[in-house]
Amino acid sequence: MQTILRREIRLVMSRLIVFVLLILFCTNVSEATIGTGTQVVPILPVSSSSTAEPTRDTGVNFILELVPLGYLFSPDADGFELRKTSGYYTRTEEMVGYGSWLPSARAGIRFNTPAVGIDLTGGGGYLWNGAVNGPFTMVDCAAHFRVGKKTTVGPHVGLVSFGDLDWFDEADVDLEGSSGLMAGFVMTTGGKTARLYLSVDYIEAEFDVETESGWTANEKTLDMSGFGVQAGLLLKF
């Protein structure tokens, strides 16, 4: 029975990883345009692996989560527009696309039991694409239930706080920071010290829009909320 369960878990993980990679290479990354000018963020995939032996220890460990491959899909961000009219000339700056990179790093402690590990972590990262960019911080709580010798799955929930975003070009606009919920499911696989980390999340991120110097926006808020995929490495000491 355990052999069948492990085989099914490996199959699910392989499909998840293939699904993530396909999305990253096929999804429209957010970009911003002025007239005919376009700026696009390149894709830089990162991978990692571990062959260490698994453990079912108890007690408390220090953990470090390195998540270079984070991606946020924001369907409501596409089409956000800033405009300024001077005489007969109108200048338009627009966000085109709905994808943003979201790399991050977190550190904290793990409380181990034979059946589940509870992670309490905090850290930060950076949101960026061809239209906006800015830092964020987060705190998170995750439950890792052991479903095999090398694999854990479980829910996680946290709070993410975004700083003010910088607009990519000349428009005089303030995109004020916001705080929101981040929640989803996380899976890890690997050995005692190093494990592959993969999470699928919903992330709230809305920014109030304030314009000056004759600029106007077609929305009062820039809604970057959406579906996130994060992959990286979890280290336990």
Enter the tokens of residue 60. 């408390």
Determine what percent of the chain falls in helix, strand and coil, rounding each to the nearest 5. Answer: 10, 60, 30
In a domain, 94, yes or no: yes
161 located within any domain: yes
| Per-residue pLDDT band at 43 (split at 50, 70, 90) | very low
> Would you say residue 230 lies in a domain?
yes
Q: What's the mean pLDDT in 181-194?
A: 95
**Residue 110 is assigned to a structural domain of this protein:** yes
For the sheet containing 31-34, what is the strand order? 37-39, 31-34, 89-96, 81-86, 216-217
Domain encompassing residue 211: 2-30+45-236
- DSSP H/E element including 137: strand 132-146
Domain count, the chain: 1
pLDDT tens per residue across span 112-138: 988 899 999 999 999 999 999 999 999
Residue 37 counted as domain residue: no
Taking the C-alpha atoms of residue 77 and residue 217, their distance in angstroms, rounded to an integer, is 13
At 51 the pLDDT is 43
Residue 14 scores a pLDDT above 90: no
Calpha distance 144→186 (Å, rounded): 8
- pLDDT band at residue 57 under the 50/70/90 scheme: low
Q: What is the mean pLDDT of the chain?
A: 84
CATH number for the domain including 9? 2.40.160.20
Q: What percent of the chain has pLDDT over 90?
A: 68
The answer as to whether 186 is a domain residue is: yes
Tell whether 39 is covered by a domain: no
